[in-house]
Structure 1
Amino acid sequence: MIPFTGESLFYLITATGILMTTRQAPQTSLRALFNLLRYARGYRRNIVLAALCSVLNKLFDIAPEILIGIAIDVVVNQEKSFVASLGFVSAKSQIVVLAVLTFLIWFGESLFQYLYLILWRNLAQRLQSDMRQDAYDHVQKLDMSFFESKSTGTLVSIMNDDVNQLERFLDGGANEIIQTMVAVVAVGSVFFVLSPSVAVLAFTPVPVILWGAFYFLRKATPLYADVRDKVGALAGRLSNNIGGIATIKSFTAETRESEQLRAASERYVQANRKAIAVSSAFVPVIRMAVLAGFLFTFIVGGFKALNGDLNVGAYGVLVFLTQRLLWPLTRLAETVDLFERAMASTRRILDLIHTPVQVRDEGTERFPGPVRGDISIDQVSFTYPGSNAGVHGLNLDIRAGSTVAFVGATGSGKSTLIKLLLRFYQPGQGTIRIDGLDITTVTLKTLRENIGLVSQDVFLFEGSIRENIAYGRPGASDADVIAAAKTSESWEFIERLPDGLDTLVGERGVKLSGGQRQRLSLARALLKDPAILVLDEATSAVDNETEAAIQRSLAHISHGRTVIVIAHRLSTIVAADCIYVIEQGQVVEQGNHQHLIDRQGNYWSQWQVQTGHA
């Protein structure tokens, strides 16, 4: 015999709920439900308690109909009633007993309703919060290639709207499943005890109702999947348009973008309309089945009572309980609607959580001492999926403390090399070593905390200047923040601001100029004090003053650290110890500025163009 534990009760309730709602549902919904239950194993105690309160509430809820029948029996039969057989002989004492029972039943129903509402809603809040957190934590581990193939709006929609959709189902739908199941079993049991023949007739519409629920569920599954896709596309468009509002305004494209948003919104409306049309048809169809069951009980039970084959009180119980038996099944329409929306959302959430991570943090090593910054790139190759772009068989040796530069046309592989160094991507072949240690054997935290990145596309977080500079070293003192700001030549403009370091930069730093944002990005990297500093096109989109400021900063910060500069402006790298010219993912020239000029090769040609001598 299998021991009946809390866990077995959890699975019993789960299995019964599945049978009630998804017995013939598409496999995708079943799979999503089982995956959700597997994810929620840690909440099984909460689920059991909430389900138990739902069961007890429903049992108390159907008890008043039974008391009404017993009351009728008391009035009609008095000393010969069912209550009299329990020792309460007088009709008045029987009424008092029924009144006390009524109070206790209503109290119990109210108590367990309060408890199941508290338990289910708290469970919904806890589960949705943890699921959103797990999704976000996993997204942070995913590779950069994932973000290049997914829109921000879609990801936000999954972690917000889809999680909220699941919460709405747990708030009400799960309780409806359990209480419908309890109503059918409990009321059906009473029916078969009082009159098996009437019970058979009363239960006749049940298969029709269940068939209708499953039929509409099958129809609704692809429709609600389409609804989730459309809302994700709509969220993506909203996110892109708000982020690109300056571009929209500059091209006076407000009307065009408004029309495109209206079209996306209309597609969402139409997808919902199709799903609503299917789910709304359920209640009218099932209502007639409920009517048939009620008429069977009303007519057949009435004839049996008139013939003396059925107690009048029992007939009253059957009539009142018929609707208790059948009418809750009509709410399967709403439950199915909530369930299918929730399962469509669950699939998207769990698919996101289970998206495989290509660049795994499997390293266990730490650098044995302070990182010097020696970098060795041995036969490294990497190509982006679906293209030949990338790097091919690169061999480089960068000495610790040196300043090196990479130049080349857009798409030649310069930034790809930096992404490989930071392990944003995994090389297809070859090895990258820092201080002789293979970077795949080092933890990602250890690797990246020793590399500072200043990119062309500066991202500042909404908050103060102080918070943005100290982002790489939370808790840094004001003295350290100011020192980093001075080294990056940011302090001069920060001092002129009314609130100084407490100045709010706005979303993505919109309140600052491009040059100011770039200098703060450099200060942020410097405060981190990395052994290796990477400037990826850091001066390509700034004014001459900012470029000169960054150049002066480099003269100070290059001492004692390895500096890697990717640049289009050759004037910014003339002092580099070594310059690598990259074409189509391979190094075609290397040397210092003068050496490359003397060779009159590719670098010399670019220099001639940029200095106006071509």
Structure 2
Amino acid sequence: MKGVQSELLAYVKKKWLIYVLLMISLFAGIFLDLALPWFMMNITDSALIGNIGQFRFVLIIGVVLLGLTFIQNYYDVLVKNYISSYIRNDLRVRLFNQHLKLPISYFNKIKSGEISSKIINDVNVVGDLMGSTFISLLQGPLVALAAFIFLLKIQWQLALVCGLIGPLIILIGKVFGSSMRKVSGKLQEQVAHSQSYVQETVKNIPFVRTYLLGRTVAEKFQGLTKGIFHYDIQKGKAQAAMQGSSQAIGFLTFLIAFGLGSYYVLIGDITVGALLAFIQLLNHVVWPFSGLAQVWGLTQESLSACDRIFRVFKEKRQFDTFPQKHEVGRERSNISMKNVSFSYNEENKKVLSDINLEVEENQFVAILGHNGSGKSTIFKLLLGFFPYLGSIEINDKEISKMTYTELMSYFSFVSQDQYLFSGTVLENIRYGNLDAKESDIITLLEELKLYDLINHLPNGLATEVGEGGANLSGGQRQKISIARAVLRNAPIFLLDEATSALDYQSEEQIQEVLLKFKHERTTLVIAHKASTIRNADNIVVLDKGEIVAIGTHDELINNNTYYHNLYKEYELVNEG
């Protein structure tokens, strides 16, 4: 809790002037709240005694108070909304940026829906907390205190009896508040899980339709919503008990006030106007405390959201500032892996075991192996996604000692998953080099013989790709990924089955270009295409996380049985 409080206090300090304005508005509001009972008391008593002059004066004061009330409420709501909106926006950006700086391993242990739930839902709740909820927590007790002092002036014995409501309702809030916070945290976790499942389902709708999984998916989602329903009910029970108890105590206070107050009027201890003022003031004692129970419940829910958000800020970042461009000398780009081992966690079996590999500058190296042999993991380690045992060097420098910016500047990477953002084809290709001109990109596409990205799409390079490239074919998405990587023009190319979605003719065209650049950069290719394998300068064969063979195609095809059988499998797949 101390960490959460310090984080929230930092926002108060940062926007202290706004909070000063809120406090001024708060005290102005309290003054106006108490002015109404004063008006009721004086207008009633002046009418009863027939004092026309005093009646007119009090009436004029009432009109002035009406105008001031409008102004105070307008600016109070305006300033509260400003501070809430500011904190939401600031937190949303900070949280999004924090996720961009976290290591890849973080995203392996958390679902995307949980991330979006924190950035959208939790941030909104915290914004409300630091605006209206925070002020309400202060306003209620202060209004009640001021009203109680006024009550003492009217009839102190009656005021003391009615003043017992405050401690009772505070006790109720304490009893139910901690329970609500725990339930709210569990409820939000269930909401995040269901949100993740919705995102996964929408993304996989074609698969769901093809395999007739509609009922199965619906039943699983129904199971997830049962968890939400359960904690929603628990939260409702706590709220009902808290509000019901506080409302009952408030109503009892009014019964006592009316009974005793009428008695004091009867014996002439107070006037009728004073009794009306007393009842109105009692509203400001009873309802702030009754409302405080509800506000306290909202506060506990908000603090639960704060806990989830600020836990993310405590996660260790991979880098503290966003990497900028880093030019690396292109005269050499050799890779050395010595005794490299890796597992995704301590309990799992090693994915890679004692990998020793030397890749000379400007070599074209193919990496082969069955699924699960560790091919893609080698790329992930080269890219610095995970810590490892052993040594990995680029140009004789250990990559763990490089800045992240320096390491990334060595690589162009094409994954078997085509990563596209909503936007145009041109924008997605330009991510490879944000300074590239459109004319340069068109020249590159012509050189790569990717004319269809220019001529065959509805709006050419201005065509919207849709979410994740939904408006394009798999081959078009892959072509964009390849063009983006070539545009980046880094000294090392990592191609993870980069042409798997292309037709034969397009693949041949891309292979031709890659081979053209073969001796201008170091290229590592995870391949299942026999043609790619044959053209490699060197072939690395993996099996169960270990290198079982290294050599050229001619060297391995006749001398290594494992490679011979694997290559024949690839040939059969290609022919099929």
1:390 and 1:363 mapped to 2: Cα distance?
29
Deviations 1:308-347 (A, max 9, x none): 4446654443232112210232223432343233222222
CA shift, 1:251, in A, is 0.7
Tell me the residue number matched to 1:584.
544
Tell me the residue number matched to 1:8.
none
User: Given the alignment of the two structures, is residue 416 of structure 1 paired with residue 388 of structure 2, yes or no?
Assistant: no
Tell me the residue number matched to 1:69.
41
User: Given the alignment of the two structures, is residue 392 of structure 1 paired with residue 353 of structure 2, yes or no?
Assistant: yes
Q: Which amino acid aligns with 2:27?
A: V
1:328 and 1:182 mapped to 2: Cα distance?
9
Instruction: Look up the SS of the partner of 1:381 in the other structure.
Output: strand
* Alignment CA distance shift 1:584-1:360 (3 Å): farther
Deviations 1:212-246 (A, max 9, x none): 22222233222212221121111111100000011
2:19 and 2:400 mapped to 1: Cα distance?
42
Tell me the residue number matched to 1:144.
104
Tell me the residue number matched to 1:506.
466
1:527 and 1:518 mapped to 2: Cα distance?
14
Q: Which amino acid aligns with 1:47?
A: Y
Instruction: Look up the SS of the partner of 1:397 in the other structure.
Output: strand
Q: Is the 8 A contact 2:325 2:405 kept in 1?
A: no
Give the alignment of 1:360-371 within 5 angstroms: 369-370=329-330
CA shift, 1:554, in A, is 1.1
CA shift, 1:156, in A, is 1.3
2:261 and 2:410 mapped to 1: Cα distance?
83
Deviations 1:277-299 (A, max 9, x none): 32123333222211222233333
Deviations 1:108-135 (A, max 9, x none): 2222211111111111111111111111
Tell me the residue number matched to 2:9.
37
Tell me the residue number matched to 1:278.
238
Instruction: Look up the SS of the partner of 1:590 in the other structure.
Output: strand
Instruction: Look up the SS of the partner of 2:299 in the other structure.
Output: helix
User: Given the alignment of the two structures, is residue 223 of structure 1 paired with residue 195 of structure 2, yes or no?
Assistant: no
User: Given the alignment of the two structures, is residue 53 of structure 1 paired with residue 25 of structure 2, yes or no?
Assistant: yes
1:38 and 1:463 mapped to 2: Cα distance?
37
Q: Which amino acid aligns with 1:425?
A: F
Tell me the residue number matched to 1:20.
none
Q: Which amino acid aligns with 1:187?
A: A
Instruction: Look up the SS of the partner of 2:15 in the other structure.
Output: helix
Tell me the residue number matched to 1:447.
407
* Alignment CA distance shift 1:361-1:383 (3 Å): farther
2:432 and 2:327 mapped to 1: Cα distance?
19
Q: Is the 8 A contact 1:302 1:315 kept in 2?
A: yes
Deviations 1:397-441 (A, max 9, x none): 3222111122222222221121111111122x3332222333333
CA shift, 1:479, in A, is 1.8
**Which range moves more in the overlay, 45-54 or 245-254?**
45-54
2:63 and 2:374 mapped to 1: Cα distance?
79
User: Given the alignment of the two structures, is residue 539 of structure 1 paired with residue 524 of structure 2, yes or no?
Assistant: no
Q: Which amino acid aligns with 2:22?
A: A
Give the alignment of 1:232-311 within 5 angstroms: 232-310=192-270
Tell me the residue number matched to 2:367.
406
Instruction: Look up the SS of the partner of 2:431 in the other structure.
Output: helix
Q: Which amino acid aligns with 1:68?
A: M
Deviations 1:453-487 (A, max 9, x none): 01111122222211111122224212211123234
Deviations 1:511-569 (A, max 9, x none): 22222221211001111111111101223454433432331121122231111111233
Q: Which amino acid aligns with 1:178?
A: L
Q: Is the 8 A contact 2:323 2:405 kept in 1?
A: no
CA shift, 1:43, in A, is 2.7
Instruction: Look up the SS of the partner of 1:582 in the other structure.
Output: strand
Tell me the residue number matched to 2:310.
350
Tell me the residue number matched to 1:176.
136
CA shift, 1:612, in A, is 5.7
Deviations 1:144-185 (A, max 9, x none): 222222222221122112222333445532332222122111
1:322 and 1:610 mapped to 2: Cα distance?
85
Q: Is the 8 A contact 1:365 1:441 kept in 2?
A: no
* Alignment CA distance shift 1:485-1:432 (3 Å): same
CA shift, 1:362, in A, is 11
1:32 and 1:403 mapped to 2: Cα distance?
53
TM-score of the two chains, using structure 1 as the length reference: 0.86
Tell me the residue number matched to 1:461.
421
Q: 2:448 aligns with which of 474, 480, 488?
A: 488
2:338 and 2:211 mapped to 1: Cα distance?
47
**Which range moves more in the overlay, 449-458 or 43-52?**
43-52
CA shift, 1:33, in A, is 5.0
User: Given the alignment of the two structures, is residue 377 of structure 1 paired with residue 349 of structure 2, yes or no?
Assistant: no
Q: Is the 8 A contact 1:51 1:116 kept in 2?
A: no
1:36 and 1:110 mapped to 2: Cα distance?
30
CA shift, 1:371, in A, is 5.9
Q: Is the 8 A contact 1:382 1:392 kept in 2?
A: yes
Give the alignment of 1:92-107 within 5 angstroms: 92-107=52-67
Tell me the residue number matched to 1:21.
none
CA shift, 1:46, in A, is 2.1
**Which range moves more in the overlay, 270-279 or 603-612?**
603-612
* Alignment CA distance shift 1:541-1:368 (3 Å): closer
User: Given the alignment of the two structures, is residue 435 of structure 1 paired with residue 395 of structure 2, yes or no?
Assistant: yes
Aligned residues: 572
**5+ residue gaps in structure 2?**
none
Q: Which amino acid aligns with 2:18?
A: N
1:286 and 1:608 mapped to 2: Cα distance?
79
Q: 2:73 aligns with which of 94, 102, 113?
A: 113
Q: Which amino acid aligns with 1:62?
A: L
CA shift, 1:139, in A, is 0.6
Q: Is the 8 A contact 2:335 2:360 kept in 1?
A: yes
1:378 and 1:211 mapped to 2: Cα distance?
65
